[in-house]
Amino acid sequence: MLIAAAAKQWKVPEAECTTGDSIVTHAASKRQAKYADLALPAAMLPVPDPTTLKLKSHAEYKLLGTRVSGVDNRKIVTGQPLFGIDVAVPNMVYAAYEKCPAVGGKVKRANLDAIKRMPGVKDAFVLEGNGNVAEVMPGVAIIATSTWAAFRAKAALQVDWDETAASKDSWTGAVLEAQKLAKQAGTQSITKNGDVDAALKGAAKRIEAFYSYPFLPHASLEPQNCTAWFKGDTIEMWVPTQTPERALQSVAHVLGIAEDKITMHQTRAGGGFGRRLVNDYASEAAAIAQKVGMPVKLTWTREDDMRHDFLPSWWVPCFHRRFGRQRQARRLARSLHHLQQ
pLDDT (tens digit, 9 = 90+) per residue, 162-219? 999 999 988 899 889 999 998 898 888 889 899 988 999 999 999 989 888 778 889 9
How far apart CA 13 and CA 157 sit, in angstroms, is 75
Helix (H) or strand (E) holding 225: strand 225-230
SS3 141: strand
Task: Classify residue 82 by burial, with Cβ atoms within 10 Å: 0-12, 13-18, 19+.
Answer: middle
Bridge partners of 226?
298
Query: Contact at 8 Å (CB) between 126 and 110?
Result: yes
- Using left for φ > 0, alpha for ψ between -120 and 50, and beta otherwise, residue 251 falls in alpha
pLDDT at 337: 37
Query: Contact at 8 Å (CB) between 311 and 217?
Result: yes
The ranges assigned to domains in the chain are: 2-45, 90-165+220-335
φ, ψ (nearest 5 deg) of residue 42:
-65, -40
Instruction: List CB contacts of 228: < 8 A, sequence separation 6 or more.
Output: 235, 236, 237, 238, 282, 285, 286, 288, 289, 295, 296, 298
The radius of gyration of the chain's CA atoms, rounded to the nearest angstrom, is: 28
Q: Print pLDDT tens along the chain (341 aa).
A: 999 999 999 999 999 999 999 999 999 999 999 999 999 999 999 999 999 998 989 998 988 999 989 999 999 999 999 999 999 999 999 999 999 999 999 999 999 999 999 999 999 999 999 999 999 999 999 999 999 999 999 999 999 999 999 999 888 998 899 999 988 988 888 898 999 889 999 999 999 898 887 788 899 999 999 999 999 999 999 999 999 999 999 999 999 999 999 999 999 999 999 999 999 999 999 999 999 999 999 999 999 999 999 886 444 444 444 444 444 444 444 444 333 33
Instruction: Quote the distance between the C-alpha of residue 146 and its chain's center.
Output: 26
Instruction: Quote the distance between the C-alpha of residue 309 and its chain's center.
Output: 11
pLDDT at 312: 66
Helix (H) or strand (E) holding 329: helix 325-335
pLDDT at 211: 86
The closest of 274, 278, 270 to 220, measured between CA atoms, is 270
Cis amide bond preceding 317, omega within 30: no
What is the rounded (10 degree) CA torsion for 188, 331, 327, 241?
-130
The closest of 171, 136, 94, 109 to 255, measured between CA atoms, is 136
pTM above 0.85, yes or no: no
pLDDT at 150: 98
Instruction: Centre a 10 Å sphere on the Cβ of residue 286 and count the other Cβ atoms it contains.
Output: 31
How far apart CA 76 and CA 147 sit, in angstroms, is 23
Fold of 90-165+220-335: Aldehyde Oxidoreductase; domain 4 (3.30.365)
How far apart CA 142 and CA 144 sit, in angstroms, is 7
> CA of 138: how far to CAs of 133, 213, 223, 253, in Å?
9, 30, 20, 16
SS3 121: strand
Query: Contact at 8 Å (CB) between 131 and 137?
Result: yes
